[in-house]
Structure 1
Amino acid sequence: MEDITPVELKKRISANENLHIVDVREVWEYEEKNIGALNIPLNTLPERLEEIEHWKNEELIVHCRSGARSANAKKYLEQQGFTKVRNLLQGIEGYIVL
């Protein structure tokens, strides 16, 4: 599925859409600043898949700081059968500058 831009995500959050967002940054990064996503650090994703299994066929947005780790998370989730994964381009850094 096509990735999502910070502008599109910000519009959808502002419209109070019910979004499924996973932040794959480390806990300390999440604690510094976050957008309210579920925090599952990338290295713990395999053992925590059951927490998001119910979103397997729904749009699932993943993000990190800049978009690189979440791109890896997207690939991994797609390999696990997730069908609608979108990576937040530019990560939270691109999002917070808007």
Structure 2
Amino acid sequence: MLMNSYRVKLLVAFASAACLACAAQGQPITKAVQAACKDDYKQYCGEYGLETSGLRSCMDRNGHNLSKICVNALVKAGEVSQSEVDRRKRAAR
């Protein structure tokens, strides 16, 4: 149970960091992220258009629900730095 709680916190931290980094930098959402996050988008934030601040806010609010594949794609796309990911991992412990 404790391990699941840790993983959820870590997933939320990753997703939040990635969404905040996207919004701050104004980067377009990559095709890889769109593909990996398609189901998450439809389930949680389908009412928002792509590339909108509303979508970024929605994904941030639903970070704890995002799939692992989506979070991994956000990290791989460089939408959050590895140092920020590491910082949030330590903070979630």
Same fold (TM over 0.5): no
Normalised by the length of structure 2, the TM-score is 0.29
Normalised by the length of structure 1, the TM-score is 0.28
Higher strand share: 1
